[in-house]
Amino acid sequence: MALEFTDTNFQSDVLDSETLTVVDFWAEWCGPCRAIGPVIEELAKEYEGKVKVGKVNVDQNPNTSVQFGITSIPAILFIKDGKVVDKQIGAVPKAVLDKKIKSHL
């Protein structure tokens, strides 16, 4: 299951982690976000133990959203060693995200 990242735990769970972390910035009211939600869950299962996969609700966690300049959602950031190494804006097929994950492992 995808992890839940918040303004409170983002620093310790994502930025301080040495593990590649995939972060889906989303909102309940966003149709494309709901469409890509199951894909994020699948990736979380497939990469369990190798990659952290989680979500940030932009409405409930405005500080993290502002910190990373999130203006369009869904926005998926790939973060490793505290730095954004890749990103994907908008809903895309699972294969696109899978390829990006593999390129940073």
CATH number, domain of 76, equals: 3.40.30.10
CA 19 to chain centroid = 13
Q: Cα dihedral angle (67, 54, 46, 36), rounded to 10 degrees?
A: -90
Range of the domain at 97: 3-103
pLDDT single digits (tens) 22-80: 999 999 999 999 999 999 999 999 999 999 999 999 999 999 999 999 999 999 999 99
**Domain tally for the chain?**
1
Which are the catalytic amino acids?
Answer: 30, 33
What is the model's pLDDT at position 51? Answer: 98
Q: Is pTM, for the whole model, over 0.95?
A: yes
Say if residues 91 and 74 touch (Cβ distance below 8 Å): yes
What is the model's pLDDT at position 93? Answer: 96
CA 88 to chain centroid = 9
For CA atoms 3, 7, 13, 15, the dihedral sign is positive
Q: Which of 16, 88, 28 is nearest to 52 (CA)?
A: 16
